[in-house]
Amino acid sequence: MGKIGIIIQREYFSRVKKKSFIIMTVLGPVLMAAIMIVPLWIAMQDKTVQRIQVIDDSGLFQNLLQSDEYNQFDFTPINIFTAKENFYSTDYNVILYIPPSIIKGNYNVQLFYKKQPGVSTEMFIRSQLEERITDMKLFANKIDVELIKKTKTKINLSTNKIEEDGKSTQTSTAVNMFIGFVGAILIYIFIFLYGVQVMRGVIEEKTNRIVEVIISSVRPFQLMMGKIVGIALVGLTQFLLWTILTFTIYTVTYTVFLGKIDNNIEQIEKIKQSQLEKGPFNAPEEIKKMDSSEVIQIMRGLKQIDFVALFLCFVFYFIAGYLLYGALFAAIGSAVDNEADTQQFMLPVTVPLILSFVVAQSIMQNPEGSLSFWFSVIPFTSPVVMMVRLPLGVPVWQLATSMILLAAGFIATTWLAGKIYRTGILMYGKKITYSEIFKWLRFNS
């Protein structure tokens, strides 16, 4: 094993054996899975029925608010003060107070509760009131309310991508953007997390004067590369373990929760089609409203994504992006005596990554724009920006150009960082400035 290999082995095993690494590797996917699955599981359970006591001092809404399965309206002919005093002696969950001023256009109502009701309950109450007020205004202007309701149409916009060979594939822009942003955020976090580890490791060895002993056996460049690659393998190991656990959880979730529902979608669509063929205005209202749930549409969008290709691209941009920035973090660590002095050098390194997320917002509006293209091929921004674009579809030549330039950028930054590292690693007690670093870059020995 070469000298760099020994350094890589030391950096790798000294970190993967730490309890913090093991705990985060196990808890990370579990926590992420809990965030995704627990709300879904709760949503599938029986919801609490909200009994709503309505105090209508306006007299406009008497028995006009329509209850549903989870929200039950009950109009009571008492004043609001009595209702509030006796609230805890009743089985009502919520008091809805409609003041008389609503007649004059003051559309402010009050909601009183024992325990905080869900957002869905508040939205339901608000929508009921708004619909009734709209109906009253239409009636006052002698406009047929039922006719207006019939004119309202809900469009289900399905996005499909047509390939050059004529093959059409159903996609979901929202799902693709979400996947892209998740990948970009992970790369951003890993670059900073493990890049800072490289910088701190260099500072620690320099402060403890351990580096003086180490470089008596290896060259500074070998030490820098061994540290960067070793920590990169730590990050890659953690990411691979997270991927395996996440994929397992996703597979189980899809099979248990959505596999059965998926089998019923075709039956629902057949029922809708057979009824609508008789005439869209003759079909029962329940049939018209039947539609695949948003959850199913999201899962179908996920099924159309080539996760293997996306995963391979993620690994490349993760490794190449980390190596590029890791070399810069190592150079910063070698140029200072303590972590507090790194702040002046961190800004030029962090700005491109932060700018990447600013540009990523514009990708939502124009994924194929020139801004999206250039920032996805510039080495300092491509790891984040290209990951956002990939699920949306990127031409092969653009992807190849981005990868080649990123690899070239890594080689260039490593060469420059090596020159800084070689000089700065043995320099103590001097306040380093940018002009001093430029002198090191011109120094040849």
The residue with tokens 């990411």 is 239
Q: In 10 A of CB 2, how many CB atoms?
A: 10
* pLDDT computed for residue 68 by the predictor: 85
- Give the confidence band of 401 by pLDDT, cuts at 50, 70, 90: very high
Output the furthest CA–CA distance in the chain (Å, rounded). Answer: 94
Q: What is the pTM of this model?
A: 0.67
Residue 129 has pLDDT above 50, yes or no: yes
* pLDDT computed for residue 225 by the predictor: 85
> What is the DSSP secondary-structure string of 273-329?
HHHHTT-TTTS-HHHHH----HHHHHHHHHHTS-HHHHHHHHHHHHHHHHHHHHHHH
Of the ranges 160-174, 356-370, 406-420, which one carries the lowest mean pLDDT score? 160-174
Residue 193 has pLDDT above 70, yes or no: yes
* pLDDT computed for residue 292 by the predictor: 47
Task: Measure Cα distances from 248 to 60, 128, 254, 259 in Å.
Answer: 55, 42, 10, 15
- Give the confidence band of 288 by pLDDT, cuts at 50, 70, 90: very low
Residues with Cβ within 8 Å of 322's Cβ and at least 6 positions away in sequence, in order, are 190, 191, 194, 195, 232, 235
* pLDDT computed for residue 112 by the predictor: 92
- Give the confidence band of 438 by pLDDT, cuts at 50, 70, 90: confident
Residue 75 has pLDDT above 90, yes or no: yes
Is residue 180 within 8 Å of 391, Cβ to Cβ?
A: yes
Q: Where are the domains of the chain?
A: 50-144, 173-442
Residue 281 has pLDDT above 50, yes or no: no
- What stretch of H or E contains 94? strand 94-98
Higher pLDDT, 409 or 260: 409
Backbone angles phi, psi at 160, to 5 degrees: -135, 135
* pLDDT computed for residue 151 by the predictor: 79
Q: CA dihedral defined by 279, 280, 281, 282, rounded to 10 degrees?
A: 50
- Give the confidence band of 88 by pLDDT, cuts at 50, 70, 90: very high
- What stretch of H or E contains 170? strand 168-171
Tell me whether residue 410 is exposed, middle or buried, using C-beta atoms within 10 angstroms of its C-beta: 0 to 12, 13 to 18, 19 or more. buried
- Give the confidence band of 37 by pLDDT, cuts at 50, 70, 90: low
Of the ranges 18-32, 221-235, 350-364, which one carries the lowest mean pLDDT score? 18-32
Residue 275 has pLDDT above 60, yes or no: no
Task: Measure Cα distances from 39 to 33, 35, 70, 188, 191 in Å.
Answer: 10, 7, 18, 26, 30
Residue 169 has pLDDT above 90, yes or no: no
pLDDT digits (tens, 9 = 90+) for 200-259: 888 887 777 777 777 778 887 788 888 888 888 888 888 888 878 777 876 776 666 555
CATH of 50-144, one of 1.10.10.10, 3.30.70.120, 3.30.70.3340, 3.40.190.10: 3.40.190.10
Q: CA dihedral defined by 381, 384, 389, 395, rounded to 10 degrees?
A: 50
Residue 262 has pLDDT above 70, yes or no: no
Distance CA 312, CA 395 (A): 16
Task: Measure Cα distances from 32 to 170, 174, 182, 247, 365 in Å.
Answer: 27, 20, 12, 12, 28
pLDDT over 70 percentage in the chain: 80
Residue 404 has pLDDT above 90, yes or no: yes
Structure tokens at 160: 């499909």
Mean pLDDT confidence for 407-420: 87
- Give the confidence band of 297 by pLDDT, cuts at 50, 70, 90: low
* pLDDT computed for residue 216 by the predictor: 74
Distance CA 414, CA 145 (A): 71
Is residue 184 within 8 Å of 321, Cβ to Cβ?
A: no
Mean pLDDT confidence for 47-69: 86
- Give the confidence band of 359 by pLDDT, cuts at 50, 70, 90: confident
* pLDDT computed for residue 280 by the predictor: 47
Decide the pairing of beta strands 94-98 and 110-113.
antiparallel
Backbone angles phi, psi at 116, to 5 degrees: -55, 120
* pLDDT computed for residue 407 by the predictor: 92
> What is the DSSP secondary-structure string of 192-255?
HHHHHHHHHHHHHHHHTTHHHHHTTTS-HHHHHHHHHHHHHHHHHHHHHHHHHHHHHHHHHHII
Structure tokens at 240: 């691979």
Of the ranges 141-155, 200-214, 272-286, 296-310, which one carries the lowest mean pLDDT score? 272-286
Of the ranges 156-165, 180-189, 271-280, 328-337, which one carries the lowest mean pLDDT score? 271-280
Higher pLDDT, 154 or 138: 138
Higher pLDDT, 48 or 95: 95
List beta partners, residue 96: 54, 111
Of the ranges 154-163, 226-235, 343-352, which one carries the lowest mean pLDDT score? 154-163
